[in-house]
A and B are shown apart, each in its own frame.
Chain A
Amino acid sequence: MSTSRLGGNGLRLAYDRRVVAEDLTVAVPDRSFTVIIGPNACGKSTLLRALSRLLKPAAGAVLLDGADIHRLSARAVARTLGLLPQSPIAPDGIGVAELVARGRYPHQGLLRQWSPEDERIVAESMAATGVDDLGDRLVDELSGGQRQRVWLAMALAQQTPLLLLDEPTTYLDIAHQIEVLDLCARLHEEQGRTLVAVLHDLNHAARYATHLIAMRGGRVVAAGEPRRIVTAELVEEVFGLPCRVIDDPETGTPLVVPAARARAGTVAR
């Protein structure tokens, strides 16, 4: 079993009295590209919120490097674990370089506002995400795909070994979705960061993840390498969708093909 810096034990996740998940245990393998999938309202985004310290579990604990994440200061967590929420807001009139620079916040102080290191890391992060030539542009003026790359650059500038992404491809068209996921895969491979993402598209998840967590009704149905766990039975169990699973002709990863006339409940031949 590989080591894990981030995980949760016996989590009960709830909003006020509405319990979303009970006795949930997950581990994010180090240096993995972990993707959490599941049908709507299965608790996948809630799990990500708990892992990123946004939601305090009603029971159990999220552990970051062996310590209860809620006993650590927000700032200490932000130096180890970065988060790109589902719909961050770009302030009116902010420039690209300025937004990326905000990723340095957890490393700055009242009298350490802009070190040469900050400057170098912001430039590197913009280069890594291919937005270095957009530095002076306003974020409002960018296309959806460009904007998402800028947000990724900001998260990278935070320089955390762990990076959590909540549905990073939502609201993007298919070309930009692939562009962002390719970028994530590259960051994972080249920079050795651990990525955790919530994705809607099962085929994207199967193609890009090195570790997949499939959830339904607040519990983990299966976890592991996509090639090992993505089967027609699993998809049926998790999503209630009859389908065939074939090899992706491009990558050889599992490709889920929904059955024709899925509602009839039989797989057409």
Chain B
Amino acid sequence: MIVIRTPGRLSVRLHPRVLAVGAVCLLLTVGVGVLAVGHGEYPMSPADVLRTLTGGGSAAEEFIVTQLRLPRLVTGLAVGTALGLAGAVFQALVRNPLGSPDVLGFTQGAATGALVVVAVGGSSAALAGSAALGGVVTGLLIYLIAWRRGVHGYRLVLVGIGMSAILTGVNGYLMTRVPLMSASRAMLWLTGSLDGRGWSDAVPLLVALVVLVPALLACAPALRMTELGDDAASGLGVSVHRMRMLLLAGAVLLVALSAAAAGPVPFVALTAPHLARRLTRAPGVTLLPAALIGALIIVVADQVALRALPGQLPVGVVTGVIGGGYLVWLLATERRAGRL
């Protein structure tokens, strides 16, 4: 641990390993991002991409980069950041390594919102809005049902799992009501995809990130105190219930808006915080590294989906396979270590 102090009694604590992991993640993300923008029917070298990004490209290059490829990349980055951060917040809130929006029902709620629009027919904007609404309403319902003199980890998990089961049923029903023509649209959305994303898809989530990332990060020290138990945290001066409500609301918003932008990309929210903890070797809450790793996972997964596999798979297929595989591996190693 490094401590930086100013004569004015200010002091900041830095963990070298966390800094290093963050820096490596950022560099990798930028590198993969440049390659991603260069990839497509009109291939561009990284030098061309950088030249175009700094304003030195031809009109055609300018159009391809800023209107076709950058929105997809930025949407992916935003979704990954949002899911990584929200996943870390959920895991810390419910004190359970499986606490992720996929398990707690928020994702299913967003899917319900989206499927309703697909079933009755509506624009992409309506679909995105309805998905966001579905996620937020589900979050609100879970919160109201789980509330009993504050929200506690296990109640939240159990209520969330119940809600997720109900909504899975509802979604199955909606799928049967979807016109055959729209069924593939619904399936593609449910898998989570970045195909054809424009700036209008990214902007709502970007705005939310600008507000919520600093807000959630500011809660991190208090969140760390709740690892000691609610009573001990209160004794240390944390307003536990208020903090939990704020964090829950922020994380639900991030999940809902990222579902609106790219569909329910699976397992990123579950995997990113675990990777962050392992890489930083920091016990407990690691919000910022989880956000950075989430962004990196999505960008890499999208490139794998586009290049390594035939037939341009949606990104959700790759994160699902990687995330599921990682989870199984995690359970296997934890069991061997005798912890599970």
> Which A residues are closer than 8 A to B by beta carbons?
15-16, 52-54, 73-79, 82-94, 102-103, 105-106, 108, 110-116, 155, 158, 164, 166
Contact = CB atoms under 8 A, between A and B. Distances in A.
B283 A83 contact: no
Contact of B231 (A88, A92, A93, A114): A88
Contacts of A88: 228-229, 231-232
Interface stretch (B127-135, B158-166, B235-243, B323-331): B235-243
Interface in B172-190: none
15 contacts: A52-B235, A77-B237, A78-B236, A78-B237, A83-B232, A83-B234, A84-B235, A88-B231, A93-B283, A102-B236, A105-B236, A111-B10, A114-B12, A114-B13, A116-B5
Contacts of A74: 234, 237-239
A75 B5 contact: no
A54 B237 contact: no
Contact of B229 (A15, A87, A115, A158): A87
A91 B283 contact: yes
- Of A16, A52, A79, A111, most B-chain CB atoms within 10 Å: A111
Interface of B: 3, 5, 9-13, 149, 218, 221, 224-225, 227-229, 231-232, 234-239, 283-284
Nearest to B12: A113
Contacts of B238: 74, 105
Contacts of B227: 89, 91
A112 B10 contact: yes
B221 A108 contact: yes
Nearest to B281: A93
Contacts of B5: 115-116
Contacts of B284: 91-92, 94
Contacts of B149: 15-16
Contact of B228 (A86, A89, A114): A89
Contacts of A15: 149
Nearest to B285: A91
Contacts of A106: 236-237
Nearest to A55: B149
Nearest to A85: B231
A105 B227 CA distance: 13
Nearest to B10: A111
A131 B10 CA distance: 29
A100 to B, nearest CB: 12
Nearest to B3: A114
- Of B218, B224, B235, most A-chain CB atoms within 10 Å: B235
Nearest to A107: B237
Contacts of A54: 231, 234-235
Given A92-B283, A115-B9, A78 B235 contact: yes
A163 to B, nearest CB: 10
Contacts of A115: 5, 9, 11
Contacts of B225: 102, 105
Contact of B235 (A85, A94, A110, A114): A85
Contacts of B9: 112, 115
A17 to B, nearest CB: 12
Nearest to B339: A92
Given A53-B234, A74-B239, A105-B236, A90 B11 contact: no
A241 B234 CA distance: 37
Nearest to B8: A111
Contacts of A75: 237
Nearest to A110: B218
Contacts of A158: 235-236
B323 to A, nearest CB: 22
Given A113-B11, A114-B3, A114-B13, A94 B231 contact: no
B236 A103 contact: yes
Contacts of A112: 9-11
Given A82-B235, A106-B236, A91 B228 contact: yes
A85 B232 CA distance: 6
A181 B108 CA distance: 53
Contacts of B221: 105, 108
B229 A89 contact: yes
A77 B237 CA distance: 7
Kindly list the 6 A-B residue pairs having the minimum CB-CB distance in the complex, ordered from nearest.
A78-B237, A83-B235, A85-B231, A106-B237, A75-B237, A93-B283
Given A54-B235, A87-B229, 20 more contacts: A15-B149, A54-B231, A73-B237, A75-B237, A78-B236, A83-B235, A85-B229, A85-B232, A85-B235, A86-B231, A88-B228, A88-B231, A89-B227, A89-B232, A103-B236, A105-B236, A108-B221, A114-B12, A155-B235, A158-B235
Contacts of B235: 52, 54, 78, 82-85, 155, 158, 164
- Of B3, B12, B228, most A-chain CB atoms within 10 Å: B228
